[in-house]
Structure 1
Amino acid sequence: MANQKGHRRFGNIRKLPSGRFQARYQGPDGITRTAKNTFETERLAAQWLTLVESEIIRGEWQAPEAGDVHLSGYGKEWIAHRKLQPRTRENYEDLFRLHIEPILGQLALGAIKPQTIRSWRGKLLAGGTTEPQAVKAYSLLRAILNTAVREDEILKQNPCRIPGYDRYHTPERPIATVAQVLALAERMPPRYVSLITVAAFSGLRWGELAALRRCDVDLAAGTVRVPRKLAALKSGLEFGPPKSAAGIRVVALPAVARKSLGEHLGRFTGKGEEALVFTGDKDMPLRTGNFRRAVKWSKALADAGMPAGFHFHDLRHTGNNLAAASGASTRELMHRMGHASMRAALIYQHATSDRDREIAESMDRRITKGAKAGKGKKRR
């Protein structure tokens, strides 16, 4: 029968029937752990407990199980069991497979230190990985290891705590003028004219536009309802809910988009309520690659006097800027864009030169009015 030894200030030691000694202690997480190995003497067991206690005091202690869990398996399990949109899951799987697992996958979680992260990022960039991809990989790794810290309590600290690694400079995306949008729409095959107009003046994403059905359009009210999106997955196209609950919304269209959409529904959309509003030449769901080829996107941009680097998604960017310049509040922009947080909406709240000029001219009118009123009082 094992004999319990006297109480210690930290941990306890007991003698086993074999004559060897077992050491146990309670970690900072409140969990009692037993040393993996037994000790030949009580003194050796006490020395081991002293080392553990000093690690805790210095803030260097980590759960022993961190050495048993390797990033490869832990990361794959994290992605597999996380609640994610299908497209997001595929993106995470690719990031992990291509950029994280080859260099860090065989490491135990407890072996990953900030210096490990620095070395890993350096190897990625030296190997040709772009900075945006390196940032996305770092952000994914940080999220995975956050779970190891906060939920599974395997790690004491997240090694992904290096300032600047989670962001990169992105040049501001181009914004089209209203005239350019209309010129681009004119250069589209008839089937795609309304797609350009509605995209620019509604702020809907490509996947949301591709998933619109006739029953989602209310021409009398001039609105479109956004209850779903269409995602292009490796396994094929898949309809699903928007990115977040805030993405389910009703968006009002300006008259030009409403008129264009009405004409499109009459010519190119099936009669059934579930018919897709925007489809390809064979009435099949839209795909970005097929669309670009069908409309000769690069040539259409050049003919419309737009920069070659203008993307379809920049039409959404254009519409959001137009809404902001028209006086939409942050909350109104959040609704129109389908965002739950203010961060994205605030991007569009910066002052444009045209809007700033309007403000200055309005100030001039108020200053002039105020000055005249002041002179009138002096005369009296």
Structure 2
Amino acid sequence: MSGRKRSRKREFGSVRKLPSGRYQARYTGPDGMIRPAPDTFDTQKAATEWLVEKQAEILRSEWIDPDAGTITFGEYAARWVKDRDLKPRTRVEYERNLRLHIKPQLGEKALNGVTPPQVRAWRSALLAAGVGRPTVAKNYRILRAIFATALDDDLIRRSPCRIKGAGQDTADERPTATLDQVFGIAAAIQPRYRLMVLLATFAQLRFGELIALRRSSVDLDEMEVKVQRSTNEMEDGTQYDDDPKSKAGKRSVSLPSALGPDIRAHLERFVPAGRDARLFLGPQGAIPRRRNFNRVWKAALDAAGIPAEMGLHLHDLRHTGGTWSGRGGATLKEIMARLGHASPRAAMIYQHATKDRDQAIAAALDVLIEEARGKTED
């Protein structure tokens, strides 16, 4: 028996005892390469059981090349962003979130080595560092999407992102301005931006949608504003026009007829001739930038007596307008149509409100505007 070999042959793979006394398991993968187990085993039985599990993976077509997932998470994430069909601003946003919140902890780890406990620890560390829950939820969604693609690419067997509810956005409730506050801000802000405040409230437009408006976007006969584009700003300051965030963002919004005089006065005083002339321009004729406008906005809040602790942003006027539209009798779908939101639960992209009903909402807002103006004039 002195000629007995230490390596024991099996129908699938082999187990051999090493000089250290531990056991090594090896097998031939579907790609024809000899694949050793990543670790050695205390007993021959443990090594054999590992081979049985590996053979079962191959039979179930669940085998994954162990070398394929050794790329670092950071490298794979960079490739993931590059290969996706993203708008420029979204691409920059993904890259920024990866750089600031994900790669510092997970970037150097092997893609197939990231574990659920590590993901939980990463999320807990962000929250402990004071990162807001909406930001943490957004980053978790990005992380989950990257690992979902890695799963489709057969680089991992199962995603490590398994925290229930971690991707849900639980943003704090934003403040709602009163109509008196809206008109107070409109009166206090630089005159060239007065109409911007009113349209943000009563047409529920976003900042990017507002500054993308052209003279041709407003139909005074129909009292309607057409939203077709949105102006975006990159981190380097570059500005460009693009489609709104979703298909529902392209919409026509009926305006309260009480805004007619405000629109006409703005067109005459601040908008150059020509259908393509922008509705809103800065004092030097440039496209407004968020950072510069925020200074103008804060000055208007101070002048209007809006307390700083309220934390009111221009974007909050969308919520204000939506709230008052609801009080005017609009249904949830009709409010969503005005806001340009798409329902993630609906089978279709969005079901728009009828034009007649949208005009009725604008008429209801008319009554509220006249009441508020009456108070300020008394």
Fold conserved between structures, TM > 0.5: yes
Q: Is 1:85 matched up with 2:87?
A: yes
The equivalences for 1:1-16 within 5 A come to: none
Q: Secondary structure in 1 aligned to 2:275? A: coil
8 A contact 2:138–2:169 mirrored in 1: no
Q: Secondary structure in 1 aligned to 2:147? A: helix
8 A contact 1:63–1:156 mirrored in 2: no
The equivalences for 1:145-160 within 5 A come to: 145-149=147-151, 151-160=152-161
1:300 aligned residue (293, 300, 303): 303
Distance 1:128 1:51 in 2: 43
Q: 1:97 matched to which residue of 2? A: 99
With over 3 angstroms needed to count, the CA separation of the structure-2 counterparts of 1:185 and 1:141, relative to structure 1, is same
With over 3 angstroms needed to count, the CA separation of the structure-2 counterparts of 1:307 and 1:49, relative to structure 1, is closer
Q: Secondary structure in 1 aligned to 2:93? A: helix
Distance 1:213 1:127 in 2: 44
Distance 1:37 1:277 in 2: 66
Distance 1:301 1:143 in 2: 44
Q: Secondary structure in 1 aligned to 2:233? A: strand
Q: Name stretches of at least 5 consecutive residues in structure 1 with no aligned partner.
A: 1-6, 14-20, 26-31, 345-380
Distance 1:276 1:333 in 2: 26
Q: Is 1:231 matched up with 2:238?
A: no
With over 3 angstroms needed to count, the CA separation of the structure-2 counterparts of 1:301 and 1:66, relative to structure 1, is farther
2:77 aligned residue (62, 75, 78): 75
Q: Secondary structure in 2 aligned to 1:231? A: strand
8 A contact 1:206–1:313 mirrored in 2: yes
The superposition leaves residues 182-210 of structure 1 with CA deviations (integer Å, 9 ceiling, x where unpaired) of: 12111122111111111100011000001
What is the deviation of 1:134? Answer: 2.2
Distance 2:264 2:308 in 1: 27
What is the deviation of 1:59? Answer: 12
What is the deviation of 1:55? Answer: 6.4
What is the deviation of 1:214? Answer: 0.8
Q: Secondary structure in 1 aligned to 2:71? A: coil
The superposition leaves residues 35-89 of structure 1 with CA deviations (integer Å, 9 ceiling, x where unpaired) of: 44489xxx99987642413668999975524532221111011112212222221
Q: Secondary structure in 2 aligned to 1:167? A: coil
8 A contact 1:22–1:34 mirrored in 2: no
Distance 1:97 1:241 in 2: 27
Distance 2:85 2:62 in 1: 32
The superposition leaves residues 214-271 of structure 1 with CA deviations (integer Å, 9 ceiling, x where unpaired) of: 1111111111111111111023111111111221111111123333122111110010
Q: What is the total number of aligned residue pairs between the two structures? A: 321
The superposition leaves residues 77-130 of structure 1 with CA deviations (integer Å, 9 ceiling, x where unpaired) of: 111221222222111101101111121111112111110101212333344433
With over 3 angstroms needed to count, the CA separation of the structure-2 counterparts of 1:53 and 1:23, relative to structure 1, is closer
1:121 aligned residue (118, 123, 131): 123
Q: 2:176 matched to which residue of 1? A: 175
1:265 aligned residue (263, 267, 276): 267
Distance 1:23 1:307 in 2: 66
With over 3 angstroms needed to count, the CA separation of the structure-2 counterparts of 1:237 and 1:36, relative to structure 1, is farther
8 A contact 2:181–2:304 mirrored in 1: no
Distance 2:292 2:282 in 1: 8
Q: Is 1:214 matched up with 2:184?
A: no
The equivalences for 1:366-377 within 5 A come to: none
8 A contact 1:301–1:307 mirrored in 2: no
8 A contact 1:269–1:277 mirrored in 2: yes
Q: 2:369 matched to which residue of 1? A: none
Distance 2:276 2:268 in 1: 15
Instruction: Specify which structure has the bigger relative contact order, considering alpha-carbon pairs within 8 angstroms and separated by 6 or more residues.
Output: 2
Q: Percent identity?
A: 39
Q: 1:243 matched to which residue of 2? A: 245
8 A contact 1:12–1:24 mirrored in 2: yes
Distance 2:258 2:285 in 1: 24
Q: Name stretches of at least 5 consecutive residues in structure 2 with no aligned partner.
A: 1-9, 15-24, 38-43, 347-378
8 A contact 1:66–1:109 mirrored in 2: no
Q: 1:199 matched to which residue of 2? A: 200
8 A contact 1:202–1:253 mirrored in 2: yes
* Aligned residue type for 2:205: L
With over 3 angstroms needed to count, the CA separation of the structure-2 counterparts of 1:255 and 1:229, relative to structure 1, is same
What is the deviation of 1:343? Answer: 6.6
With over 3 angstroms needed to count, the CA separation of the structure-2 counterparts of 1:176 and 1:307, relative to structure 1, is farther
What is the deviation of 1:176? Answer: 1.4
* Aligned residue type for 1:153: D
Distance 2:328 2:33 in 1: 67
